[in-house]
Every structure is written in structure tokens, then in C-alpha cells.
């Protein structure tokens, strides 16, 4: 494939685009010299130390490279020898480029604590990298922002941002002003979002089969893609459970606050399930005297201690008589008894507090047949309140009947492994839930949790904005073809960066083809031919086989929110980095130990206006 660009004949206008073949060969040659070779090994008796080294494949220096890429003794990535921020971003994008698509490679990471992580999640990989170059740090922050905003597309946004800077490098070499390139990129972004809106297809969120197919296609690129049906079921059940209809077509889904993922090693992954309620690692305070199983419990949630209230400041009491000590103890007992009586008036079956619970309070509660749990986390208490309809109370004397939670169907304490877990499940209308994951090892469970979080984010995005766009690179190819057609109507020198942005969108399907191991040139030529007339918007690349196919028939979709956010984040980040003309360090150099203060220098002769007389 060779994309020919028009060369401006006007001598006042510089030739603005390189041929795609020459451009790619130049960058590939540079990347071979700058490729990041990451080797990790833990310190041991064999003398091997941890090294995250970035090596050059050739020993000789190249002046156009700005020096070799070196590694620091502490394992940090030293990208300071890269000449421009765009070269740095391209190098970072090249690290995770192979993790895109269902045929992606895995990365084995050694974290700071010595643990090993095997994943192909872009955000998880970049999070473990410790880089020194500011532009590389900006890319890592970009991936984290994408993950927090929409939960998916972390690899795509880095690849697309790197490609946008890659194609802009030719214009920088031809002395184009960065502002001109940025204006063209912003125009391309506006037109790309308009194309997205045009090809987006609405979906009925109540159609479970379509929702499952969408979530499954989004997580099919993950390491646990073979368990796609199970993870899609778990994600969809969890998000629909905590979804709150705000009216006027709006839906609020807070997966971070009201969905808890509990990982328990053991069993099989197929044993994982969504609990219509809350599960937490606690046991009743007095196991022998308090019930561990209650059907249809009345639950009270407290945010106060059921023990004698101590003074906020240091308190001293002087006892004159021996009987005074007994009086103090009796006052404490009466205070705790009054607290318990206020609670027992509402006939609860289970009392849960985030603070402490004294032995005397346990005695009164167990005597009345009430089970109690103390020192529960605030987050778990909030989930219980959402699940069973209870209200967290700060003072027992302010309790009301409406504060008692009656929505739970079962309270039970079970022993799993060596620990006790409390279950408040079978809730009538829960707005909080727990996803219980079972698996063979902690490493597998950690990877499943990462994929589950992505799946829940995709389901949340669809519930908030029920629109779909085709996956498999079909959306990017449609956007690219449309922008190429519109570039002929752009006047001035912005036309060429605009057309380059259109070419940059092809990085996603091209990377998918590379990871499939097929002939990239033939595949991209076939796809471009089908999209050249602006039609066939659903034709993309089957990530498993590498063949061109109709994404609608294969049921390969992307969420509209994810794709739109990917385009916005990548292009805006590229524009920000293009406008950087210098990197200034605000860190002062440390003087060598024992060295005296540096002497001020005298201005050279000829600068009489600025000359200073410095006393000896």
C-alpha cells in the first residue's frame, strides 16, 4: 500500500507530506534503534538485580536520534535522550501496541513489591512503568484518565495519540507552525465526532441478548476472553442491579461505590456469581451466644460506639472515698444500658456499627437475642444501607422506625477457608451488590477482576448512553475515509495536516492486522477499498482470523461513549504535546559533598551596561 499525497507547487508553500512508504520506513528504522527492551529479574542470591533496561539495537550513536536511550540504576526508564516529546510518546505507544485486539500479546510485569502481574490491560501495564520523561508521564496519565472516565479504550487512546504525533512530525520537520497543525487536528476531531454520531445505532437496554453480546465483544480482547460469557453475565447483572433511573432517559450507575468485588481463591471460575446484597469479612462479636443465621432480619446501622463515651480531652478524676470508684462504674453501666435499651425498643435482629462495642453492650444485646457486628468499614456500611433500605444513624437516641432496614431476606455467617464471611443477601430491591469471584490462584483472580471492571464500565456506558458503533476498526476506517473526502474542501495549508489526521485513524485497524499475523498491506488495501466510497461503514477486521467481515453480522460492537472519549482524549493530548517547544527542569542540581558555594561570574567586557563589580 502506498498513499500518494499531493505536493504543492507554489514555492511559498513547503511540500507538506511525505510518502507513506518513506515515512513509515524512516520511523521504523528509528524505532529499531530506540526499541525499549524491558528485562525484569528479582534480586536473589544468584546476583541478578532488577533491571528495566532500555537498550538500542545498534551500539553506534546516531545524531538524528539525539543519543542512545539509557537505563537508570534504580530501574527507571530514562527517556530523556529522545529528541522531541512526539518521539517519546511514539516509544511509549510502541510498548503496548501489541496488547490491542483479541490476538494480543501479554506483558509480564514485576511490581514494586516483587509480585508478578501478567496482563494485556494497557492501563495496568503503563501504571507499573516508572518513566522519567515528562511526555511519557503525560501519556501514562492519559491512560489513567481514560480508564477512570469510561473504563475502556486505554490501549487505543495511547496508540492513536502516538500516531497523531507521528504524522505531525513530518510537518514539524518542514517548519509548519504547531498552531496550524493543532487547528487542523481540532477540525478533524469535530468532523470525526459528527461521523460517529451519524453511524451510531441505538440499542434497547432491556434486550439482554444484545447487551450481553455487546459487553462480550468489548472484553473479547482481554486475557480472559474464553470466559467472556461468564464475565459479561456478571457485569450486566451487577450494573443493572445498582442502576438508578433518574427519569427523562437518564440513568445513574455508580460501580465504584455500590459494587464490591470479593476475590476468594479456590473453586472454579464458573462458581463466581453476583450476590443480591452485601458480603464482608466479619463475624458476630460473640459467636457462641449470637445467631449466625437470621431469616428476614431487621437491621440497624450505626456510626457511633456502643461503649462508655470518653472525654475529647484528657480527663482527671480524684477519688476521695473508696465508694466513689463503684459510683463511676455504675454510671458507666447505666449509660451503656440506656444506649442498648434505646436500640432494643425497635426490636432489631442485627446491629452493625462502624465503631467499637463494649463487652457490657454485647451482654445486653445477646441477652435480647440480637446479633452484633462491630468496626465495619464505612464503604461496606453504605452498601448495606443501599441493599436493605436502612439508614445509618449517628446517635441511638435519634433512631426512628424508618431507619430500620427490612429489605434483606437472609443474614448468614459462613466459614470459607480459614475466615468467616457475613452475607446479607436475597434483598427485595437492592441498589448495591457484591460480585463473588472464585478461581485457582490470586493472579488469575486479579486479572479476572481487571477484565470485570472493564466489562462493568462498558455496561455502565451503554446504560447511560445507549448507542453503539461498529468495532474491529470499522469506525476508524469510516472516519478516515470521510475525513479524506472532506480534506479536498479545506483551504490553505491546514489541508495537509487535516489529511494526515485522517491517515492516523487507520492506526487502529492496522495494529489489529499486525497482531493477527496477517499481511498488513493486503488487508489494509482491501479495507480501504471498501470504505473509499464512504459506504460499507460496518466492514472491519475480524480480530481472531484477520479477515475482513461485516461487524454487524459478527456482533462486534463498541460503546459510543468509549469511542468518542478515545478520539477526544487522543487528539487533545496530541495538540497539547505539539505545542510544547521546550522542557525546563525546575529541580536544582545537588552539589557534590564538601563543595563550596559557586562563585558568581563577571560579565564579559563589552557589556558595560550589565557589568557588575563583585568584591573579592
Write the pLDDT tens digit of every residue in 336-347: 999 999 999 999
Q: How many CA atoms does the CB half-sphere of 94 hold within 13 Å?
A: 20
Q: Which helix (H) or strand (E) holds 153?
A: none
Residue 514 CA to residue 163 CA, distance in Å, equals 15
Q: Which stretches does DSSP call E strand in 228-363?
A: 244-247, 250-252, 259-265, 273-275, 278-280, 293-295, 299-302, 350-353
Is the per-residue pLDDT at 11 higher than 60?
no
Please give the average per-residue pLDDT across 298-325, as a whole number.
81
Bridge partners (DSSP) of residue 422 are 280, 413
pLDDT-based confidence at residue 386 (cuts at 50, 70, 90): very high
Residue 70 CA to residue 80 CA, distance in Å, equals 9
Residue 565 CA to residue 585 CA, distance in Å, equals 31
% of the chain at pLDDT higher than 70: 79
Task: Identify the pLDDT of residue 186.
Answer: 96
pLDDT in tens, 477-501: 999 999 999 998 998 899 999 999 9
Q: Which of 84, 119, 121, 475 is catalytic?
A: 121
Q: Which of 84, 88, 99, 155 is catalytic?
A: 155
| Contacts for 60 with CB less than 8 Å, ≥ 6 apart | none
- Which pTM was predicted? 0.72
Please give the average per-residue pLDDT across 410-435, as a whole number.
92
| Contacts for 203 with CB less than 8 Å, ≥ 6 apart | 210, 211, 214, 462, 466, 467, 468
Q: Which of 30, 147, 454, 542 is catalytic?
A: 454
Reduced to 3 states (helix: H, G, I; strand: E, B; else coil), residue 69 is coil
Q: Which of 313-327, 403-417, 436-450, 471-485 has the lowest mean pLDDT?
A: 313-327
Q: Domain 204-276+435-465, what architecture?
A: 2-Layer Sandwich (3.30)
Q: Which of 112-126, 272-286, 462-476, 480-494 has the lowest mean pLDDT?
A: 112-126
Q: How many CA atoms does the CB half-sphere of 462 hold within 13 Å?
A: 31
Is 121 a catalytic site residue? yes
What is the average pLDDT score of the chain? 80
Is 331 buried (19+), middle (13-18) or exposed (0-12) by CB count in 10 A?
Answer: exposed
Question: What angle do helix axes 85-96 and 134-149 make, rounded to 10 degrees?
Answer: 50
Q: Which of 84, 99, 119, 154 is catalytic?
A: 154
Please give the average per-residue pLDDT across 444-460, as a whole number.
87
Three cell numbers written together for 206: 432491556
Q: Domain 278-311+324-429, what architecture?
A: 3-Layer(bba) Sandwich (3.50)
Please give the average per-residue pLDDT across 86-98, as a whole number.
86
Beta strands 539-541; 467-470: pairing state: unpaired
Reading phi first (left if > 0) and then psi (alpha if -120 to 50, else beta), residue 594 is in left
pLDDT in tens, 162-220: 999 999 999 998 989 999 999 999 999 999 999 999 999 998 888 888 888 788 877 76
Residue 611 CA to residue 616 CA, distance in Å, equals 15
Is 12 a catalytic site residue? no
Is the per-residue pLDDT at 22 higher than 90?
no
Is 454 a catalytic site residue? yes
The reply to whether 204-276+435-465 shares the fold of 20-201+470-578 is: no
% of the chain at pLDDT higher than 90: 41
Is the per-residue pLDDT at 476 higher than 70?
yes
Q: Which of 124-128, 226-230, 356-360, 595-599 has the lowest mean pLDDT?
A: 595-599
Residue 575 CA to residue 165 CA, distance in Å, equals 8
Where exactly are the structural domains of the chain? 20-201+470-578, 204-276+435-465, 278-311+324-429
Is 240 a catalytic site residue? no
Is the per-residue pLDDT at 282 higher than 50?
yes
Other CB atoms within 10 Å distance of the CB of residue 106: 15
Residue 240 CA to residue 463 CA, distance in Å, equals 8
Task: Give alpha helix (H) positions in 129-207.
Answer: 134-149, 154-173, 178-199
Fold designation for 20-201+470-578: GROEL; domain 1 (1.10.560)
Amino acid at each position: 500500500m502506498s498513499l500518494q499525497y499531493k505536493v504543492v507547487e507554489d514555492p511559498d508553500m513547503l511540500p507538506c507530506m511525505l510518502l507513506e512508504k518513506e515515512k513509515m520506513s524512516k520511523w521504523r528504522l528509528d524505532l529499531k534503534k530506540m526499541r525499549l527492551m524491558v528485562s525484569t529479574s528479582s534480586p536473589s542470591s544468584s546476583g541478578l538485580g532488577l533491571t528495566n533496561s532500555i537498550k538500542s539495537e545498534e551500539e553506534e550513536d546516531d545524531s538524528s536520534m539525539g543519543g542512545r536511550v539509557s537505563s537508570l540504576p534504580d530501574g527507571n526508564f530514562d527517556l530523556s535522550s529522545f529528541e522531541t516529546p512526539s518521539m517519546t510518546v511514539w516509544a511509549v505507544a510502541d510498548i503496548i501496541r501489541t496488547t490491542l485486539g483479541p490476538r494480543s500479546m501479554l506483558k509480564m510485569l514485576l511490581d514494586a513489591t516483587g509480585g508478578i502481574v501478567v496482563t494485556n490491560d494497557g492501563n495496568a501495564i503503563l501504571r507499573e512503568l516508572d518513566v522519567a520523561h515528562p511526555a511519557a508521564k503525560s501519556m501514562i496519565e492519559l491512560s489513567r484518565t481514560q480508564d477512570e472516565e469510561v473504563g475502556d479504550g486505554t490501549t487505543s487512546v495511547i496508540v492513536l495519540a502516538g500516531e497523531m504525533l507521528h504524522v505531525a512530525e513530518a510537518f514539524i520537520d518542514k517548519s509548519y507552525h504547531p498552531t496550524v497543525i493543532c487547528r487542523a487536528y481540532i477540525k478533524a476531531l469535530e468532523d470525526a465526532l459528527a461521523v460517529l454520531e451519524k453511524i451510531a445505532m441505538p440499542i434497547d437496554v432491556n434486550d439482554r441478548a444484545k447487551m450481553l453480546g455487546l459487553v462480550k465483544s468489548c472484553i473479547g480482547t482481554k486475557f480472559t476472553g474464553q470466559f467472556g460469557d461468564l464475565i459479561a453475565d456478571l457485569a450486566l447483572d451487577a450494573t443493572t442491579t445498582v442502576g438508578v433511573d433518574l427519569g427523562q432517559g437518564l440513568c445513574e450507575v455508580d460501580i465504584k461505590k455500590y459494587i464490591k468485588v470479593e476475590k476468594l481463591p479456590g473453586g472454579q471460575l464458573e462458581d463466581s456469581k453476583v450476590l443480591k446484597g452485601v458480603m464482608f469479612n466479619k463475624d458476630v462479636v460473640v459467636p457462641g451466644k449470637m445467631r449466625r443465621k437470621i431469616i428476614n432480619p431487621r437491621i440497624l446501622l450505626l456510626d457511633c460506639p456502643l461503649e462508655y463515651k470518653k472525654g475529647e480531652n484528657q480527663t482527671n478524676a480524684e477519688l476521695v472515698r473508696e465508694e466513689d470508684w463503684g459510683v463511676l462504674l455504675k454510671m458507666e453501666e447505666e449509660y451503656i444500658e440506656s444506649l442498648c435499651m434505646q436500640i432494643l425498643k425497635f426490636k432489631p435482629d442485627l446491629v452493625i456499627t462502624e465503631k467499637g462495642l463494649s463487652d457490657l453492650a454485647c451482654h445486653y444485646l445477646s441477652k435480647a437475642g440480637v446479633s452484633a457486628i462491630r468496626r465495619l468499614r464505612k464503604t461496606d456500611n453504605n452498601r448495606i444501607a443501599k441493599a436493605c433500605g436502612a439508614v445509618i444513624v449517628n446517635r441511638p437516641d435519634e433512631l426512628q422506625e424508618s431507619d430500620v432496614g427490612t429489605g434483606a431476606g437472609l443474614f448468614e455467617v459462613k466459614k470459607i477457608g480459614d475466615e468467616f464471611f457475613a452475607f446479607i443477601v436475597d434483598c427485595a430491591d437492592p441498589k448495591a451488590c457484591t460480585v463473588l469471584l472464585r478461581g485457582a490462584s490470586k493472579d488469575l483472580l486479579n486479572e479476572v477482576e481487571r477484565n470485570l471492571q472493564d466489562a462493568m464500565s462498558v455496561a455502565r456506558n451503554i446504560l447511560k448512553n445507549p448507542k453503539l458503533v461498529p468495532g474491529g476498526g470499522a469506525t476508524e476506517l469510516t472516519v478516515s475515509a470521510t475525513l479524506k473526502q472532506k480534506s479536498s474542501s479545506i483551504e490553505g495549508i491546514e489541508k495537509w495536516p487535516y489529511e494526515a489526521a485522517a491517515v492516523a485513524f487507520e492506526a487502529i485497524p492496522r495494529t489489529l492486522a499486525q497482531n493477527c499475523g496477517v499481511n498488513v498491506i493486503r488487508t489494509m488495501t482491501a479495507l480501504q477499498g471498501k470504505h473509499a466510497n464512504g459506504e460499507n461503514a460496518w466492514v472491519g477486521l475480524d480480530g481472531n482470523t484477520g479477515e475482513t467481515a461485516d461487524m454487524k453480522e459478527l456482533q462486534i460492537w463498541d460503546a459510543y461513549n468509549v469511542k468518542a472519549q478515545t478520539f477526544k482524549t487522543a487528539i487533545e493530548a496530541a495538540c497539547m504535546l505539539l505545542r510544547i517547544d521546550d522542557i525546563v527542569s525546575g529541580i536544582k542540581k545537588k552539589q557534590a559533598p564538601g563543595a563550596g558555594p559557586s562563585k558568581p561570574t563577571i560579565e564579559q567586557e563589552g557589556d558595560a551596561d550589565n557589568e557588575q563589580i563583585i568584591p573579592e
